[in-house]
Structure 1
Amino acid sequence: MAQGTRVVVGVSGSLRSLGALHRAVEEARRRGGELVAVLAWIPVGGEASYRRAPCTPLLAAWENAAAARLEQAFLDAFGGRPEGVPVRLVTVRGEAGTALTELADRPDDLLVVSTGRQGGLMRLFHGGVSRHCLAHAHCDVLAVPTSELLRDLDRSLRHRTAV
């Protein structure tokens, strides 16, 4: 791969996204490229709600919380930033799918996203991030499926709450 290759990964802090983060680090290492970890966020209540009652200190707090969540994802996944891979952390105010496809804008980029179970209500209001990326990206997209361990855990938790 050419120098300047980037592996862009969507990170939310969920277990599924940490799986994608692990895979993205492997790909960045293999390609000798930079890892760009992206956490997209929107104001609590949505953009329309924020525009009706803007509050600069609250917005700053949300931005700081997003940056802290992205740092925490690396602590949770690796105990810190991985060695031997240049890492750039990016927080973006906006919908995740759009933010990721706009950032991964080079033909030689690789966009890594997690897939998996998403509740119907979340899918209704936010759509599927991986589906959006697969449909709109201008680079290769690697959709990392949920591990068997996470699927088992998810089934176990659903069974426990149903009983």
Structure 2
Amino acid sequence: MPKVVVGVSGGMGGLGALHRAAAEARLRRVELCAVLAWQAPDGGPGSRTSRGVPVQVLCRSAAADRLREVLDAAFGAGAPAFPVTGLTVRGTAGAALVDVACDPDDLLVVGAGPRGPLRRLLRPSMARYVLAHAACPVLTVPPSPLRAAYEAARRRNSWRLPLDVRELA
């Protein structure tokens, strides 16, 4: 059965992709599958915390909690008119999304955030990975135009630069 698969992280770009994926699922009358990928820090399967609880169990639980928070923030308390499933997958985001959206009839929706040259060097693009490896159509959602204004305001605030009220008009 075809589905719309979307990667979620809780960031601003991910929320835009989630809303676009919800619109596509509603339009196509198919299930929306929200995927949150996670990785355990530093440890393999045998890593344990000081209390003897495997780190992997704690990370999986934290990822499930984060996924619930993101879906609640996106859709509110009421359930949407189409089926929504949440899935947490251990692994990198690109590989997890490609594995979940394995049917050629699926639609994979990802956010395409702004990428400067330094970011491309330090961290590969998940959207590029998905476009190169997906077996189904991929819809990339560009960042909101408000994101650039938000980033500029954040930089100005971090440098404690005064606000010119003429910019607001």
* TM-score normalized with structure 2 length: 0.83
Matching residue within 65, 68, 77 for 1:68? 65
Which runs of 4 or more aligned residues in structure 1 lie more than 3 Å from their structure 2 counterparts after TM superposition? 118-126
**Structure 1 143/121 Cα, relative in aligned 2: closer, same or farther at 3 Å?**
same
CA pair 134-78 structure 1, distance change in 2 beyond 3 A = same
Q: How does 1:28-39 map to 2 (within 5 A)?
A: 28-39=25-36
Distance 2:67 2:151 in 1: 23
Which is further off, 70-79 or 97-106?
A: 70-79
Match of 2:166 in 1: none
| Cα shift at 1:42 | 0.6
Does residue 104 of the first structure (1) align with residue 101 of the second (2)?
yes
Shift of 1:155: 2.2
Whichever residue aligns with residue 7 of structure 2, its letter is G
C-alpha contact (below 8 Å) 1:5/1:32 kept by paired residues: no
Distance 1:146 1:31 in 2: 23
**Structure 1 unaligned regions, length at least 5:** none
Instruction: Flag structure 2 segments of 5+ consecutive residues without an equivalent.
Output: 162-169
Q: 1:86 aligns with which of 83, 87, 91?
A: 83
The structural deviation recorded for 1:81 is: 6.0
Paired position in structure 2 for 1:146: 143
Q: Which deviates more, 74-83 or 64-73?
A: 74-83
Name which of structure 1's ranges 110-119 and 137-146 shifts more when overlaid on structure 2: 110-119
Identity %: 45
Query: Please, which moves more after superposition, 61-70 or 109-118?
Result: 109-118
Q: Is 1:11 equivalent to 2:8 in the alignment?
A: yes
Aligned length: 156
- Residue identity matched to 2:128: R
Between Structure 1 and Structure 2, the one with more helix by share is 1
Equivalent residue number for residue 44 of structure 2: 51
